[in-house]
Amino acid sequence: MKGEGSRTRLIGRERGYHGVNFGGISVGGIVTNRKMFGTLLTGVDHLPHTHLPGKNAFTKGEPEHGADLADELERIVTLHDASTIAAVIVEPVAGSTGVLIPPKGYLQRLRDICTKHGILLIFDEVITGFGRLGTPFAADYFGVIPDIITTAKGVSNGVIPMGAVFVKKEIHDAFMNGPEHLIEFFHGYTYSGNPIASAAAIATLDTYKEEGLLTRGAELAPYWEEALHSLKDAPHVIDIRNIGLVGAIELQPIAGQPTKRAFQAFVKAFERGALIRTTGDIIALSPPLIITKGQIDELIDHVREVLTMVD
Ligand SMILES: Cc1ncc(COP(=O)(O)O)c(C=O)c1O
Protein backbone atom coordinates (compact mmCIF):
# COMPACT_ATOMS: atom_id res chain seq x y z
CA MET A 1 0.00 0.00 0.00
CA LYS A 2 3.00 2.29 0.55
CA GLY A 3 4.75 1.26 -2.64
CA GLU A 4 7.48 -0.78 -0.95
CA GLY A 5 6.61 -4.03 -2.69
CA SER A 6 10.22 -5.24 -2.70
CA ARG A 7 9.94 -5.86 1.05
CA THR A 8 8.93 -9.50 0.92
CA ARG A 9 11.28 -11.12 3.43
CA LEU A 10 10.27 -12.07 6.96
CA ILE A 11 12.76 -12.52 9.79
CA GLY A 12 11.90 -14.90 12.62
CA ARG A 13 14.02 -16.36 15.39
CA GLU A 14 15.51 -19.72 16.29
CA ARG A 15 13.31 -21.53 18.83
CA GLY A 16 10.41 -19.20 18.02
CA TYR A 17 6.89 -20.58 17.91
CA HIS A 18 4.12 -18.98 15.89
CA GLY A 19 1.77 -21.89 15.39
CA VAL A 20 1.78 -24.80 13.00
CA ASN A 21 0.43 -22.92 10.02
CA PHE A 22 2.84 -22.59 7.07
CA GLY A 23 3.76 -18.97 7.74
CA GLY A 24 4.20 -19.68 11.43
CA ILE A 25 6.43 -22.69 10.86
CA SER A 26 8.47 -20.72 8.32
CA VAL A 27 9.32 -17.87 10.68
CA GLY A 28 9.35 -20.17 13.69
CA GLY A 29 12.41 -22.00 14.88
CA ILE A 30 11.08 -25.28 16.26
CA VAL A 31 13.12 -27.86 14.39
CA THR A 32 10.73 -30.77 14.79
CA ASN A 33 8.00 -28.75 13.09
CA ARG A 34 10.23 -27.26 10.41
CA LYS A 35 11.82 -30.50 9.24
CA MET A 36 8.43 -32.04 8.41
CA PHE A 37 7.36 -29.49 5.82
CA GLY A 38 10.09 -29.11 3.22
CA THR A 39 11.30 -25.67 2.26
CA LEU A 40 8.33 -23.71 3.62
CA LEU A 41 8.02 -19.98 2.74
CA THR A 42 10.97 -18.63 0.81
CA GLY A 43 12.97 -15.56 1.74
CA VAL A 44 12.83 -16.11 5.48
CA ASP A 45 15.85 -15.69 7.73
CA HIS A 46 16.26 -16.18 11.47
CA LEU A 47 17.79 -14.32 14.38
CA PRO A 48 19.66 -16.42 16.93
CA HIS A 49 17.71 -17.47 20.03
CA THR A 50 18.56 -15.82 23.33
CA HIS A 51 18.99 -18.82 25.62
CA LEU A 52 22.41 -18.48 27.28
CA PRO A 53 22.31 -20.83 30.27
CA GLY A 54 26.08 -20.64 30.65
CA LYS A 55 25.77 -16.95 31.52
CA ASN A 56 22.21 -16.44 32.72
CA ALA A 57 21.25 -19.61 34.66
CA PHE A 58 18.95 -19.04 37.66
CA THR A 59 18.25 -15.42 36.75
CA LYS A 60 15.19 -13.91 38.37
CA GLY A 61 13.41 -11.81 35.75
CA GLU A 62 15.25 -10.37 32.77
CA PRO A 63 18.75 -11.82 32.24
CA GLU A 64 21.81 -9.56 32.17
CA HIS A 65 23.52 -11.11 29.18
CA GLY A 66 22.49 -11.30 25.54
CA ALA A 67 21.12 -7.90 24.42
CA ASP A 68 23.87 -7.87 21.79
CA LEU A 69 22.18 -10.83 20.08
CA ALA A 70 19.72 -8.28 18.67
CA ASP A 71 22.62 -6.83 16.66
CA GLU A 72 22.48 -9.98 14.53
CA LEU A 73 19.57 -8.23 12.83
CA GLU A 74 22.07 -5.70 11.44
CA ARG A 75 24.06 -8.59 9.97
CA ILE A 76 20.91 -10.02 8.36
CA VAL A 77 20.01 -6.58 6.99
CA THR A 78 23.50 -6.28 5.52
CA LEU A 79 23.11 -9.65 3.84
CA HIS A 80 19.66 -9.09 2.30
CA ASP A 81 19.38 -5.28 2.26
CA ALA A 82 16.68 -3.53 4.26
CA SER A 83 14.67 -2.80 1.12
CA THR A 84 13.83 -6.52 0.87
CA ILE A 85 12.73 -7.04 4.49
CA ALA A 86 9.10 -6.52 5.47
CA ALA A 87 9.04 -7.51 9.11
CA VAL A 88 10.71 -9.13 12.09
CA ILE A 89 8.51 -11.38 14.23
CA VAL A 90 9.38 -12.51 17.75
CA GLU A 91 7.60 -13.61 20.87
CA PRO A 92 8.62 -11.01 23.49
CA VAL A 93 8.99 -13.96 25.88
CA ALA A 94 9.40 -17.19 23.90
CA GLY A 95 6.84 -19.57 25.37
CA SER A 96 6.50 -22.93 23.70
CA THR A 97 10.23 -23.52 23.46
CA GLY A 98 10.50 -23.36 27.23
CA VAL A 99 10.08 -19.79 28.48
CA LEU A 100 13.05 -17.78 27.21
CA ILE A 101 13.03 -14.36 28.79
CA PRO A 102 14.53 -11.53 26.73
CA PRO A 103 17.86 -10.21 27.99
CA LYS A 104 17.77 -6.67 29.40
CA GLY A 105 17.65 -4.17 26.53
CA TYR A 106 17.27 -6.82 23.81
CA LEU A 107 13.76 -5.91 22.64
CA GLN A 108 14.55 -2.19 22.61
CA ARG A 109 17.55 -2.89 20.38
CA LEU A 110 15.39 -4.88 17.98
CA ARG A 111 12.93 -1.98 17.99
CA ASP A 112 15.67 0.56 17.24
CA ILE A 113 17.16 -1.48 14.39
CA CYS A 114 13.73 -2.06 12.83
CA THR A 115 12.88 1.63 13.08
CA LYS A 116 16.21 2.59 11.55
CA HIS A 117 15.59 0.39 8.51
CA GLY A 118 11.83 0.86 8.09
CA ILE A 119 11.18 -2.78 9.02
CA LEU A 120 7.96 -3.62 10.88
CA LEU A 121 8.36 -5.22 14.29
CA ILE A 122 5.74 -7.83 15.14
CA PHE A 123 5.29 -9.13 18.68
CA ASP A 124 3.50 -12.46 18.82
CA GLU A 125 1.69 -12.00 22.12
CA VAL A 126 -0.42 -15.13 21.91
CA ILE A 127 1.05 -16.22 25.24
CA THR A 128 2.19 -12.94 26.78
CA GLY A 129 -0.94 -10.97 25.93
CA PHE A 130 -3.79 -10.33 28.38
CA GLY A 131 -2.01 -10.24 31.70
CA ARG A 132 0.56 -13.03 31.64
CA LEU A 133 3.41 -10.75 32.68
CA GLY A 134 1.35 -8.71 35.15
CA THR A 135 0.73 -6.01 32.55
CA PRO A 136 -1.96 -6.14 29.86
CA PHE A 137 0.69 -6.91 27.19
CA ALA A 138 4.39 -7.63 27.09
CA ALA A 139 4.77 -4.41 25.11
CA ASP A 140 3.62 -2.62 28.29
CA TYR A 141 5.94 -4.65 30.50
CA PHE A 142 9.06 -3.94 28.46
CA GLY A 143 8.04 -0.45 27.32
CA VAL A 144 8.76 -1.44 23.73
CA ILE A 145 5.98 -0.77 21.24
CA PRO A 146 5.89 -3.00 18.15
CA ASP A 147 4.08 -2.11 14.93
CA ILE A 148 1.86 -5.19 15.02
CA ILE A 149 0.70 -7.44 17.87
CA THR A 150 -0.78 -10.86 17.24
CA THR A 151 -2.95 -12.30 20.00
CA ALA A 152 -5.24 -15.24 20.72
CA LYS A 153 -5.76 -17.51 23.74
CA GLY A 154 -6.21 -14.89 26.49
CA VAL A 155 -8.58 -12.82 24.39
CA SER A 156 -11.28 -15.42 25.02
CA ASN A 157 -9.71 -17.19 28.00
CA GLY A 158 -8.46 -19.82 25.56
CA VAL A 159 -11.70 -21.76 25.71
CA ILE A 160 -13.35 -20.48 22.54
CA PRO A 161 -11.16 -20.18 19.43
CA MET A 162 -10.35 -16.60 18.57
CA GLY A 163 -7.37 -14.62 17.35
CA ALA A 164 -6.92 -10.90 16.86
CA VAL A 165 -4.26 -8.63 15.39
CA PHE A 166 -3.58 -5.08 16.56
CA VAL A 167 -1.75 -2.68 14.26
CA LYS A 168 -0.51 0.84 14.78
CA LYS A 169 -2.50 3.65 13.30
CA GLU A 170 -0.22 4.22 10.28
CA ILE A 171 -0.72 0.62 9.15
CA HIS A 172 -4.46 0.84 9.64
CA ASP A 173 -4.64 4.11 7.75
CA ALA A 174 -2.51 2.80 4.88
CA PHE A 175 -5.23 0.27 4.15
CA MET A 176 -8.28 2.40 4.92
CA ASN A 177 -7.85 4.78 2.04
CA GLY A 178 -10.31 3.56 -0.58
CA PRO A 179 -13.74 4.89 -1.47
CA GLU A 180 -16.36 4.45 1.27
CA HIS A 181 -18.30 1.77 -0.60
CA LEU A 182 -15.29 -0.57 -1.12
CA ILE A 183 -14.25 -3.22 1.39
CA GLU A 184 -10.56 -2.74 2.21
CA PHE A 185 -9.77 -6.33 3.13
CA PHE A 186 -11.01 -8.05 0.06
CA HIS A 187 -11.05 -11.46 1.75
CA GLY A 188 -12.65 -12.60 4.96
CA TYR A 189 -12.46 -15.94 6.69
CA THR A 190 -15.43 -18.20 7.17
CA TYR A 191 -15.03 -17.78 10.92
CA SER A 192 -14.15 -14.07 11.03
CA GLY A 193 -16.24 -12.16 13.56
CA ASN A 194 -17.82 -15.36 14.81
CA PRO A 195 -20.65 -14.34 17.18
CA ILE A 196 -19.97 -16.94 19.89
CA ALA A 197 -16.25 -16.18 19.89
CA SER A 198 -16.96 -12.46 19.96
CA ALA A 199 -19.38 -12.87 22.87
CA ALA A 200 -16.81 -14.97 24.74
CA ALA A 201 -14.10 -12.37 24.12
CA ILE A 202 -16.31 -9.51 25.31
CA ALA A 203 -17.27 -11.48 28.43
CA THR A 204 -13.62 -12.36 29.06
CA LEU A 205 -12.53 -8.73 28.75
CA ASP A 206 -15.30 -7.72 31.18
CA THR A 207 -14.09 -10.33 33.66
CA TYR A 208 -10.48 -9.18 33.34
CA LYS A 209 -11.64 -5.67 34.16
CA GLU A 210 -13.98 -6.61 37.01
CA GLU A 211 -11.43 -8.88 38.70
CA GLY A 212 -8.32 -6.83 37.85
CA LEU A 213 -6.76 -9.88 36.21
CA LEU A 214 -4.64 -8.07 33.64
CA THR A 215 -2.43 -6.78 36.44
CA ARG A 216 -2.95 -9.47 39.06
CA GLY A 217 0.18 -11.23 37.84
CA ALA A 218 2.24 -8.27 39.07
CA GLU A 219 0.97 -8.74 42.63
CA LEU A 220 1.72 -12.46 42.57
CA ALA A 221 5.03 -12.23 40.68
CA PRO A 222 7.34 -11.85 43.72
CA TYR A 223 5.68 -14.80 45.48
CA TRP A 224 5.74 -16.84 42.29
CA GLU A 225 9.42 -16.04 41.77
CA GLU A 226 10.44 -17.13 45.27
CA ALA A 227 8.36 -20.30 45.10
CA LEU A 228 9.81 -21.29 41.75
CA HIS A 229 13.42 -20.58 42.72
CA SER A 230 12.98 -22.61 45.92
CA LEU A 231 13.37 -25.61 43.57
CA LYS A 232 16.97 -24.65 42.82
CA ASP A 233 18.37 -27.52 44.87
CA ALA A 234 15.85 -30.11 43.68
CA PRO A 235 17.32 -33.06 41.74
CA HIS A 236 18.23 -32.60 38.03
CA VAL A 237 17.54 -28.84 37.96
CA ILE A 238 20.04 -26.90 35.83
CA ASP A 239 18.16 -23.62 35.39
CA ILE A 240 15.10 -21.79 36.69
CA ARG A 241 13.76 -18.64 35.06
CA ASN A 242 10.66 -16.53 35.58
CA ILE A 243 8.89 -13.33 34.67
CA GLY A 244 5.40 -12.15 35.60
CA LEU A 245 3.27 -15.22 36.12
CA VAL A 246 5.25 -17.60 33.95
CA GLY A 247 8.37 -19.62 34.58
CA ALA A 248 10.41 -22.65 33.66
CA ILE A 249 12.48 -25.32 35.33
CA GLU A 250 15.08 -26.78 33.02
CA LEU A 251 16.26 -30.31 33.76
CA GLN A 252 19.50 -32.02 32.89
CA PRO A 253 18.55 -34.40 30.07
CA ILE A 254 19.18 -38.11 30.56
CA ALA A 255 22.29 -38.84 28.47
CA GLY A 256 21.23 -40.04 25.02
CA GLN A 257 17.52 -39.77 25.86
CA PRO A 258 16.52 -36.12 25.64
CA THR A 259 12.98 -35.22 26.82
CA LYS A 260 12.55 -38.51 28.72
CA ARG A 261 13.15 -37.08 32.17
CA ALA A 262 10.73 -34.18 31.75
CA PHE A 263 8.14 -36.52 30.28
CA GLN A 264 8.45 -38.73 33.34
CA ALA A 265 7.87 -35.65 35.50
CA PHE A 266 4.78 -34.83 33.45
CA VAL A 267 3.36 -38.34 33.95
CA LYS A 268 4.18 -38.45 37.67
CA ALA A 269 2.62 -35.03 38.20
CA PHE A 270 -0.47 -36.08 36.28
CA GLU A 271 -0.83 -39.19 38.45
CA ARG A 272 -0.76 -36.90 41.49
CA GLY A 273 -3.48 -34.67 40.02
CA ALA A 274 -1.30 -31.81 38.79
CA LEU A 275 -1.18 -30.93 35.11
CA ILE A 276 2.18 -29.47 34.15
CA ARG A 277 3.47 -28.74 30.66
CA THR A 278 6.83 -29.95 29.44
CA THR A 279 8.72 -29.03 26.31
CA GLY A 280 12.00 -30.78 25.66
CA ASP A 281 13.55 -31.22 29.11
CA ILE A 282 11.93 -28.06 30.39
CA ILE A 283 8.93 -27.83 32.69
CA ALA A 284 7.09 -24.68 31.58
CA LEU A 285 4.60 -23.28 34.08
CA SER A 286 1.99 -20.70 33.19
CA PRO A 287 -0.73 -20.92 35.82
CA PRO A 288 -4.21 -19.40 35.60
CA LEU A 289 -4.34 -15.69 36.44
CA ILE A 290 -6.71 -16.55 39.32
CA ILE A 291 -4.24 -18.86 41.06
CA THR A 292 -3.88 -18.30 44.84
CA LYS A 293 -0.65 -18.30 46.86
CA GLY A 294 -1.76 -21.56 48.47
CA GLN A 295 -2.19 -23.14 45.06
CA ILE A 296 1.24 -21.90 43.99
CA ASP A 297 2.69 -23.69 47.05
CA GLU A 298 0.76 -26.82 46.17
CA LEU A 299 1.99 -26.74 42.57
CA ILE A 300 5.62 -26.23 43.57
CA ASP A 301 5.36 -29.03 46.15
CA HIS A 302 4.11 -31.38 43.43
CA VAL A 303 7.00 -30.45 41.17
CA ARG A 304 9.55 -30.85 43.99
CA GLU A 305 8.14 -34.25 44.80
CA VAL A 306 8.05 -35.55 41.22
CA LEU A 307 11.64 -34.45 40.65
CA THR A 308 12.66 -36.92 43.35
CA MET A 309 10.72 -39.67 41.58
CA VAL A 310 12.08 -39.42 38.01
CA ASP A 311 15.15 -41.32 36.71
C1 LIG B 1 3.46 -17.54 20.51
C2 LIG B 1 2.39 -18.36 19.85
N3 LIG B 1 1.90 -17.99 18.67
C4 LIG B 1 0.90 -18.65 18.09
C5 LIG B 1 0.35 -19.77 18.69
C6 LIG B 1 -0.89 -20.40 18.10
O7 LIG B 1 -0.68 -21.23 17.10
P8 LIG B 1 -1.87 -22.13 16.52
O9 LIG B 1 -2.97 -21.20 16.15
O10 LIG B 1 -1.27 -22.82 15.37
O11 LIG B 1 -2.26 -23.04 17.62
C12 LIG B 1 0.84 -20.22 19.90
C13 LIG B 1 0.28 -21.44 20.51
O14 LIG B 1 0.76 -22.05 21.38
C15 LIG B 1 1.88 -19.50 20.50
O16 LIG B 1 2.37 -19.88 21.68
> Does the Cβ of 239 fall within 6 Å of ligand 1?
no
> Does the Cβ of 23 fall within 6 Å of ligand 1?
no
Whole-number pLDDT of residue 180: 86
> Does the Cβ of 125 fall within 6 Å of ligand 1?
no
Nearest residue by C-alpha to atom 8 in ligand 1: 19
How many A from CA of 17 to the centre of ligand 1?
Answer: 7
Question: Contact 69/238 with Cβ under 8 angstroms?
Answer: no
Nearest residue by C-alpha to atom 3 in ligand 1: 18
Which residue, 234, 307, 232, is CA-closest to 59? 232
Instruction: Tell me the best of 13, 15, 17, 277 to mutate to test the pocket of ligand 1, counting ligand atoms within 8 Å of each CB and taking the most.
Output: 17
> Does the Cβ of 95 fall within 6 Å of ligand 1?
yes
> Does the Cβ of 127 fall within 6 Å of ligand 1?
yes
How many other C-beta atoms are found inside a 10 Å radius of the C-beta of residue 190?
A: 5
Nearest residue by C-alpha to atom 6 in ligand 1: 19
Query: Which structural domains are found in the chain, ordered by start?
Result: 9-151 (3.40.640.10), 213-309 (3.90.1150.10)
Which residue, 156, 157, 73, 80, is CA-closest to 107? 73
> Does the Cβ of 162 fall within 6 Å of ligand 1?
no
Exposed e or buried b per residue across 253-291, where buried means at least 16 C-beta atoms within 10 angstroms of its C-beta: bbeeeebebbebbbebbeeeebebbbbbbbbbbbbebeb
How many A from CA of 305 to the centre of ligand 1?
Answer: 30
Spans of the chain below 50 pLDDT: none
Whole-number pLDDT of residue 193: 87
Whole-number pLDDT of residue 188: 83
